[in-house]
Structure 1
């Protein structure tokens, strides 16, 4: 029974490890491991309960090997409570990782290939999967593709303007990401009967992308071979001329391509332009205080969002509704207002009061009466992962 399955979801990062344990679609607990000073601590949340525990771990790589013991000690596993599956979101280019797979020898072989293609995204999740497979050797581990939702796009929307035989041979295409987030939004809108023919979904968090959704399927999206392409983000450049990137490499005396990729992913975007912070709230504060580069960073951020939204609308030949989702999209009335202010010609206009009011429901209509619908929809990537995993586990 799907409702009885115990599913562990892992979300490893470069400076933290996050886990969530679900029974069916209900979260039993979440665990967040991170450094506080020189100690690794974890915060456990279950319902309204929350506690912090200091561990003896010396490195985050030790967490996965001790996770079962912690879950048993906290009384979430043990006895008849056994895991049905472990899910790991994989962000990687290539045909293989455009689909979900149970992790086996073939999957590990593909992950090894992907390590070289996406050296900033794949190694952490691959190492996590290896450790979890060791500890939970009888539990299926499923890699859930963050690109899968975008498989429906026409070939024109996937192609770079290069020799197409080489593109096929080396998997050099626009794979697109944030598919779990956009997929969860589209699934919800279908179920709520508010999904029109042409929708633009704006996933705006520290990472950001804009997706054109036509008849419930991905039609185009702004991220490309990796999540670096597209709009300006917290620390990512977004789209940039390759020759300009190579000029930066030479100017900064960056020795190899991986370090260049790291620089473009980690030191640019809001952080690079403002020179102060990758946190949009801080950038807005700088703008309000009259800081020149803070103001410029914010204006550039909004401009790139507007340009990419317009690109997605053009790809469908129009728009029937627009959606804001993810942390910034859901929480920042300022960003929503600034983005929409130049889109009245498209029939999009906000209701100022609705845009700044409380939004306790899964979706909130924030457009004016004369406007096409503009929604804030809370994303739910976890539920989307579980839905997808259940399809595999049912086979």
Structure 2
């Protein structure tokens, strides 16, 4: 089955056409800077090695991007890209969705009701769905939720120590995110370790512009670092991660910042960008640190310390640990981050193979621990699009 996977962000739209049986990307593309003065696109028919790139009109956004995507798929030269279903990445499904869901009026209303929990993500996701329904009227369309994989968390793991009525009446609890990524690398880790999924105990670490880690016990998520929103947890590119909630009150009462300003500060101006006062890009910060930039060094040190601290905390949620897994753009490609984390986590029984760590990634799975290491360390490139495509196909088959 060929599944069109659509991932609508606030200012971008990524897509893939995935052949679910082989796992191959037949086509992929990115529309970025949507809504700005200079929105652009890159489209590629991978199977036929043809590409197209260009610009949309000033201010054009998701609707125009999806119009162009539909035209691209219908071009005669792309007749190999006939799709039979559409899978949509949905960030927040609340407690309403424990798995993928066929998109209909009821599903859309339920996702809409979760938008207050993910105001930076769900509205864009919904916009992409509604426009896609106009273009692909005859195809089944499925929502795959970032939060669904973590619906196996126990109450002890997902409840905040605040008045219980806030959970009962308003659903305020920890949900977790990056579910498609954590689920994909969990299945891959089980395969690589030669263990049944139901006997696999790992900590998965997704490091990109957004970062999260999850404790996976017997193939199921039992704890994770993100919470009610994707703001909680690890230090990220522009998001603060964990902080004293009293800081919010101080910014409001003492510094006179509005709630909108505080929201923007913690989500868009903090993390690596805020600490370095330079960039949220790990590659730029590594270079700046090598050139002697003290703020870049500080940002990286905080990032690495918080990462190791969070992984150590997740270990307490598990009775056994077979391996830790690095994934995501930073996790797959930044050997220094992996090395720094593993040095601080040596007490867990992990022995790093420095040479293997240095050469790992580059689109391939690989162990970065020694053969004698009691707990293994593995790099696994994530494939959220393949996971979404497979869940879409499975849901339709069921």
Calculate the TM-score normalised by the size of structure 2. 0.90
Q: Give the drift of 1:252.
A: 5.2
Counterparts of 1:291-302 in structure 2, within 5 Å, are 291-302=293-304
Residue 50 of structure 2 corresponds to residue 49 of structure 1: yes
Report the alpha carbon displacement of residue 117 of structure 1 after superposing the two structures with TM: 2.7
Moved more, 47-56 or 294-303: 47-56
In 1: Cα distance, 2:280 partner to 2:291 partner: 17
Q: CA deviation at 1:14?
A: 2.5
Deviations 1:200-250 (A, max 9, x none): 111111111111111111111111111111111111100122221232244
Q: Aligned residues, how many?
A: 388
SS in 2 for 1:341: helix
In 1, the alpha carbon distance for the partners of 2:33 and 2:120 equals: 20
The structure 2 residue matched to 1:376, chosen from 371, 379, 382, is: 379
Which deviates the most, 323-332 or 160-169? Answer: 160-169
1:225 paired to 2:228: yes
Residue matched to 1:137: 137
Once the two structures are TM-superposed, the CA of residue 19 in structure 1 deviates from its matched residue by: 1.4
**Does 346-355 or 184-193 show the bigger shift?**
184-193
What is the TM-score normalised by the length of structure 1? 0.91
**1:285 is aligned to 2:287:** yes
SS class of match (1:96): coil
The reply to whether residue 215 of structure 1 matches residue 218 of structure 2 is yes
Is 1:386–2:389 an aligned residue pair? yes
Separation in structure 1 between the aligned mates of residue 330 and residue 185 of structure 2, nearest angstrom: 15
Q: CA deviation at 1:360?
A: 5.6
* Corresponding residue of 1:156: 156
* Paired position in structure 1 for 2:207: 204
SS of 1:75 mapped into structure 2? helix
Q: How much does 1:193 deviate?
A: 4.1
Q: Write the deviation string for residues 61-103 of structure 1: whole angstroms up to 9, x where unpaired.
A: 322234222221263359xx75322111111151124432111
1:157 and 1:21, CA in 2 relative to 1: closer, same or farther beyond 3 A? same
Query: 3-state SS of the aligned residue for 2:344?
Result: coil
Aligned ranges 1:235-274 → 2 under 5 Å = 235-250=238-253, 253-256=256-259, 258-274=260-276
Query: SS in structure 2 opposite 1:150?
Result: helix
Counterpart CA distance in 2 for 1:366 and 1:237 is 29
Deviates more, 1:304-313 or 1:336-345: 336-345
Which residue is 2:306 aligned to? 304
> Which moved further from structure 2: 48-57 or 304-313?
48-57
Contact 2:18/2:386 (CA < 8 Å) preserved in 1?
Answer: no
SS at match of 2:78: coil
Does structure 1 residue 275 correspond to structure 2 residue 271? no
Give the whole-Å Cα distance in 2 for the aligned partners of 1:351 and 1:50.
Answer: 39
Match 2:331 to one of 324, 329, 342: 329
Paired residues of 1:198 and 1:214 also in contact (CA < 8 A): yes
Give the deviation of 1:13 after TM superposition.
2.1
Q: Structure 1 stretch 223-232 or stretch 30-39: which is displaced more?
A: 30-39
Contact 1:366–1:375 at 8 Å: present in 2 too? yes
Range with greater deviation from structure 2 (336-345 or 174-183): 336-345
Displacement after TM superposition at 1:296 (Å) = 1.1
Q: Distance in 2 between matches of 1:6 and 1:97?
A: 24
User: Structure 2 vs 1, CA of residues 198 and 66 (structure 1 numbering), >3 Å: closer, same or farther?
Assistant: closer
Tell whether the 8 Å contact from 1:90 to 1:97 is kept in structure 2 after alignment. Answer: no
Deviating more after overlay: 144-153 vs 263-272: 144-153
Instruction: Kindly indicate whether the alpha-carbon contact (under 8 Å) linking 2:38 and 2:57 is maintained by their aligned counterparts in 1.
Output: yes
> What CA distance in whole angstroms lies between the structure 2 residues aligned with 1:173 and 1:250?
26
The answer on whether the counterparts of 1:363 and 1:376 sit within 8 Å (CA) in structure 2 is yes
Cα 1:99–1:250 shift into 2, 3 Å: farther
Deviates more, 1:295-304 or 1:366-375: 366-375
Shift of 1:56: 4.9
Which secondary structure state, in structure 1, belongs to the residue aligned with residue 177 of structure 2? coil
User: Are residue 316 (structure 1) and residue 318 (structure 2) matched?
Assistant: yes
Q: Does 1:7 align with 2:6?
A: no
Give unmatched runs, 5+ long, in structure 1. none
In 2, Cα distance between equivalents of 1:251 and 1:64: 45
1:273, CA displacement in angstroms?
Answer: 0.8
Q: Which moved more, 1:268-277 or 1:20-29?
A: 20-29
Question: Where does structure 2 lack aligned partners over 5 or more consecutive residues?
Answer: none
Relative contact order higher in (CA < 8 Å, ≥ 6 apart): 2
Cα RMSD of the aligned pairs, angstroms, is: 2.3
Distance 2:92 2:181 in 1: 16
Worse-matched range after superposition: 55-64 or 150-159: 55-64
Residue 319 (structure 1) shift: 2.5
CA distance in 2, matches of 1:199, 1:76: 41
Q: Is the 8 A contact 2:361 2:381 kept in 1?
A: no
